[in-house]
Amino acid sequence: MVSSASSPSSPDRVLNAGILGATGTVGQRFIVLLAQNPMFRIHSLGASERSSGRQYSQAAKWKMSELMPQEIRDVVVKPCDPTHFEGCDVIFSGLDASVAGDIEKAFMETDFAVFSNAKNYRMVSNVPLCVPVVNTDHYSLIAAQRAHYGMKRGFIVTNSNCSTSGLVVPLKALQDSFGPLKRVIVTTLQAISGAGYPGVASLDILDNIVPLISGEEPKMEAEVLKILGGLNDSATACAPLPDLKVSATCNRVPVVDGHTECVNVEFSGTPPSIDDVKKCLREFTCEAQAIGCYSAPKQVMVVTEEEDRPQPRLDRNAGEGMAVTVGRIRECPAFHVRFTLLVHNTVLGAAGASILNAEYAAKKGFI
């Protein structure tokens, strides 16, 4: 096998990044975040045959509120083929799931470190499904994944569905502090940017709420169990939580960015007080903070006492979009505790999570 990936890096070296699906909305968010991140240099942009061979400014319909970085405007878009990404240390994939599977596997098999937003490999037992402020311990699976595919340096790490990313952060804190959770009910109010571009038709979403996001509910219910679970004894596969029951109802609402989620939690044991819940969430920390990852938020969760918060327009950029805001924490007459959370669906819920995953991997010597 001929490897196109560059040599292993030191934790302090600037890493060359390739972006797959660079013209889409997730790819555009990757560009915005990477352009201001000192750990990475945008090296190569890949997209479909329709876009390849064109300058990026001509190939992409730019939809970010931030201006397109000047340095990438004239970059020529490449086909999403590993032979065109020689010199890249890391590959970020914003590809649609309809094409991501074979392309991401080809990059991994060419010994690239691949960080994917797509759903294709999330539930594969030896692939870390990692929300980087929650379960970086699952990186132990990379050795087993490399052994399984015969790779020396290549691997795939996925981040979760955008709505899952916000939910598992407070659940992880509660599980660690107060023991196993028994039941969770979550109702989401999800922003239209989660559907990509052109996304939801204006006649469907203006003055309206759509009470269905196809496939979203089973993804949330399964991903939570994998993320909050552990590994088997040999650290070769994930061991999803066997007893936690999660029920999700997902709705699309006329908000541009920021997923709001209303959550009810029942504990397996004696429930904590509301004051203890608030303290637990405020004080929760993660390994990415401890080792100095650039994108790690100073505070993983922002706990608000204002009775009408969080709100998407006011709170989605907490921690530069990498923090989860939690409010309305109160007792639940049916379960034990209920609260409302907000997560920026294209930052911690998508591109930002992949970038922090890569920062962590570099710091820990996986890249």
Q: Is 162 a catalytic residue?
A: yes
Residue 238 designated active-site? no
Q: At which residue do the structure tokens 């993320």 appear? A: 227
Q: Residue 201: which residues within 8 A CB-CB, separation 6 or more?
A: none
Placement of tokens 């015969």 in the chain: 150
Sign of CA dihedral 249, 254, 255, 257: positive
Of 317, 358, 350, nearest in space to 24 by CA: 350
Distance CA 354, CA 18 (A): 13
**In angstroms, rounded to a whole number, what is the distance separating the alpha carbons of residues 249 and 202?**
22
- List all residues 6 or more positions away from 356 whose beta carbon is below 8 Å from its beta carbon: 132, 133, 288, 293, 295, 296, 322
Q: What is the dihedral of CA 310, 315, 321, 327, to 10 degrees?
A: -20
Going by C-alpha positions, the residue among 277, 300, 279 that lies closest to residue 174 is 277
Nearest to 136 by CA among 362, 360, 366: 360
Extract the tokens encoding 191. 């922003």
Rounded to whole angstroms, the Cα distance separating 332 from 204 reads 33
> Under 8 Å CB-to-CB from 360, ≥6 apart: which residues?
132, 136, 139, 287, 288, 291, 293
Q: Count CA atoms within 13 Å of residue 25 on its CB side.
A: 18
Pairing of strands 113-116, 155-158: parallel
Q: Which one of the listed residues 162, 280, 286, 293 is annotated catalytic? A: 162
206 phi/psi in degrees, rounded to 5: -70, 135
Which of 43, 80, 88, 259 is the catalytic position? 259
Contact 102, 118 (CB under 8 A): no
Q: Closest by alpha carbon to 102, among 122, 80, 87?
A: 80
**Structure token digits, residue 319:** 């921690």
User: Where in the sequence numbering do the catalytic residues fall?
Assistant: 162, 259
